[in-house]
Structure formats: structure tokens, C-alpha cells
Homo-oligomer: A and B are copies of this chain.
């Protein structure tokens, strides 16, 4: 097997020391951070750089350039660093824009009716004060890191301790496709795999694959299916221990859940998306999170950059290329000059800032469409999902408008715990965007009760919701490129202004994208400085 890989030089052979055979390989040109000695060797000196935006991309640029002594100043419109990498704790304050940008409540499609949680057309921007207890945190933005992502390298370099983020849990629930009641993921999976295996085994037995498979391959396929679907030699799926137990085994044998529902019911549940959620390269288990909150990364970056170099509460109002540098004006009228600029703002905000970057650049910046996503953090005074449901981390998957319910991957067995009551995108998020916090909460609790019952709404100590489209100076969860022409243009600087962000990569919505983009810009800017000096 996998002989072709050997031919391509990708796989180890017995006679040579293997290289990591497949996947997760580094880029062919590994990143080399700028360093002070680059100037000793090649002449010149580090330049002055204005970095616009103290999100992951901006901070990473300032951090990497700083290694070579660049004089960076980071301008951030918000009153905190990190951008979308926002971890909320007790004492934090979250303000929202009065209107969803570009789609006033009156012009949007109405929120689908539900018993609780009606739309509030006249909603005004509101401010939530977070009242979580000591130790509780809520990653309102990015929350998980794949093993192959460069984000983990930054965690290593910055000394940010890691722990596992549980991205899928056999004990969590599924409620999709009009299922009358939630089932455990393990149960739904066992049933789907079981019937798939039964159908294919019987088709094989009936000769339907005779033109495709040799006799030996048929035997191997049937052996695979007997394991894969737990269907044994009968080739008929009849349930089994993988479905779970009504009474767990112990001194006694336990009592299994019993026979599976009919095939037609399993097919109707539309489990394909849910059961393959963690099959993709970005979502495969295990995933990771910084201990204590995702913002440990941006806080470590900001500390390395230095507080004195970061100006929060400083909104950029104009960006001008000048013959000998860049000039950036900020709210209040002051202007700052530097040799170069890295614009690491969301493109839809950058597009609105006046300047002389050129019509094609402005047009390219206006191309990406900001998308919506929302999250609700629910702090409970009792970890009932662990005690009663035996769910330790992971997610319940639904096709309700809440999308997922996440159980915390930290603080196991603690007194309190933070459940993500919804993490939704697209139209579902847009519906919640238009609601005030209290209405989002009520709606999410009605939905969550379909999985966890009425007790779901009880014992909540604190709650906070974030609608990313309504976050000032961010105005979106991430973007979509309707066409890719501007994507290439913005990979190049507009004069002395470079662009950086996850939106300029194929890792949109991931911190890894911001880091990869920052590394590219830093490399190019540094090479230019070395060359021009």
C-alpha cells in the first residue's frame, strides 16, 4: 500500500531514514525571522514601521520585525489588543455597534419566529458587563488550534502552555434532520457505520462489485466492514456496545441500548456533515488551546512588542504614501510618519479609510465580504454536563440555529463551567446579530433545552454574547472572497504600504492565517529594506 508515495519520494523506505512521510510538512521555504545581524552582514539599518491593527497579524508583524530592531508602532482603534482573539473574563466590558453594519434591522430578513426571542428592530448598541467568576474564561473568537498550524510554533516560542481542546466527543449529542430526540454521537455513529457496512457487505455478497473487485479484495473488504460496522460474520447490523449502554458494565455485564432504529430513520437524520466534522485537515482531533484562554498568545506577543509601542484607542483616518515614507493620520488629526506601513485591519474597514493607495487597491480591499458569526458564553454554577451527562468537553451538533453547543475543555470537575450556548454562522448568526443580548440568550436557551431539557436554563450565573458583525472596529467574523483577483494584488505592497491578515491567506478565520500572512510580509519588507539600504 501507498507504494505511489515511495515513487514520489514522499515515503520512507526500509533502507533510508524516513522523513515525515505525509502531511503536516513545512513550507518549502521555511520562515527565517529578521535579525539584527542581517544588517551587520549586509549593511543598512532597521526601518521605522507603522503597524495598523493589533490583532494577531499586526502583533506578529511587530514582534518579528522587532527581532531585527525595527522601530515599530502599532495603532489599534479598540481599547484592547488581540482583535478577534478575544477572551472574556469577569470585569470585561463588551460594547456593540447600534446597527449591524450595512444591513439595518429594517432591511434585513426577519428572524424566524420562535417562542422566545423575537427580533428587536429598534435595537441600539448595548454594552455587556461580564460577571464570570474567578477562573472562568470565554474564547469569544478563535478557540482551537490544529497540530500542523504555525500557531503552535508561536505558542512554543512564546512559552504559552497548551492543553487539548476536545473538538469531538462520542458522548455529546446529535440533533439533526428532524430527529425526534437527541442521540449520543457514539450512537449515531455506530448506527451510520453499521448500516453503511451492512449495505456494502450485502451488495458485495450479491455480486454487485464483482466487476470491480477480485475475490481476494472482496474478502479484504468484508473483513474491513466487519470491523468498521461491527457487523460480524452475518453482515447484518444489529447494534452493539458501540451504541452505548443503558446501564454501564461493571460487576454486571451492563445493559446495552438495544437495537438500532430502522435504516430509513438513520438516513433521515442526515448525519453526513455532523459525523465528518472532524475529518478535515483543519478540524481533526486532537486540537489544542492555550491554558487559561486563547488571548494568552496575543498577550505574549504584545508583551514582546512592548506596551510602549502599542497605542490602543487610536483609530486611523488616513493612509498616505509619500515619496520618502508613509504618513498615517489618526482620529484627532495627529499624523505619524514612518518608512513603511503594514495595514493589518479587516479589509472592509481598510477599504473605507481615505488615502492614496490607488483605485485598484481600494477596489480590491472592498472585494472581500465580511461574514457573520456569533457565540454565547454561559457560565453555570454546576458542571451538570459532566456529572449527569458524562460529557467532558466537545460539542453537540445540531441543525438548530444555535449550530453547536460546546462543553468546556478546561476546568474539569470544577465548581463552575463555561458552556458555549451557540456558535453559529451565516443566516443563523445574522438572525442572532439583530437581537439584543437578553433575546439571544432566551432564544439559545429554548433551543438548547431541546437537547438538555428545561434544566438547561437553570443555574446560569452569567452570560455574554458576541455578534462579530457588531464588534466596533472589526465588523465581521471573517471574510469571503467572491472573486480572487484582488487577493493577488494585495499580496504586493501599495507603495510602502503592505497588507496582512488571515483574509490574505487560504487559512481564513484561523489565527494561523494571520501568522502566515505576517511572516510573508515581514520577510518581504525586510528583504526590501536590506536591498534598498
Contacts and interface: CB of A to CB of B under 8 A. Distances in A.
Given A250-B505, A281-B245, A270 B22 contact: no
Contacts of A247: 25, 27-28
B22 A183 contact: yes
Given A1-B265, A4-B259, A181-B21, A248 B168 contact: no
A507 interface: yes
Given A2-B181, A224-B267, A272-B225, A23 B504 contact: no
B180 A11 contact: yes
A307 interface: no
A12 to B, nearest CB: 5
B147 A171 contact: yes
Interface string A499-512: 00000111100001
A520 B251 contact: yes
Given A177-B1, A181-B13, A246 B23 contact: yes
Given A183-B22, A251-B505, A279-B230, A286 B224 contact: no
B147 A2 contact: no
Contacts of A450: 14
B181 A11 contact: yes
21 contacts: A2-B187, A2-B265, A4-B261, A11-B182, A17-B455, A20-B389, A21-B184, A23-B187, A24-B171, A28-B247, A163-B164, A164-B393, A169-B285, A202-B212, A217-B264, A224-B267, A224-B271, A249-B505, A250-B513, A250-B516, A251-B517
A110 interface: no
Contacts of A28: 247
A330 interface: no
B8 A258 contact: yes
A254 interface: yes
Contacts of A264: 214, 217
B392 A288 contact: yes
Interface in A253-290: 253-254, 257-259, 261, 263-273, 275-276, 279-281, 284-286, 288
Contacts of A178: 1
A25 B272 contact: no
Interface stretch (A64-72, A192-200, A364-372): A192-200
B214 A203 contact: no
A22 B170 CA distance: 11
A241 interface: yes
A20 B388 contact: yes
A209 B214 contact: no
Chain multiplicity (copies): 2
Given A20-B389, A21-B184, A230-B279, 6 more contacts: A6-B180, A12-B453, A161-B413, A166-B285, A170-B285, A241-B281
Contact of A392 (B8, B147, B173): B147
A518 B259 CA distance: 32
Interface residues of A, number: 142
A182 to B, nearest CB: 6
Contact of A217 (B21, B243, B267, B517): B267
Nearest to A391: B147
A454 interface: yes
Contacts of A361: none
Contacts of A23: 171, 184, 186-187, 243-246, 257
A349 interface: no
B8 A192 contact: no
A288 B275 CA distance: 22
A116 interface: no
A196 B196 CA distance: 9
Contacts of A251: 491, 504-506, 516-517, 520
B413 A162 contact: yes
Contacts of A114: none
Given A11-B181, A454-B17, A506 B252 contact: yes
A70 B71 CA distance: 72
Q: Which A-B residue pairs are the 7 nearest by beta carbons?
A: A23-B244, A227-B272, A170-B284, A250-B516, A17-B453, A164-B164, A11-B181
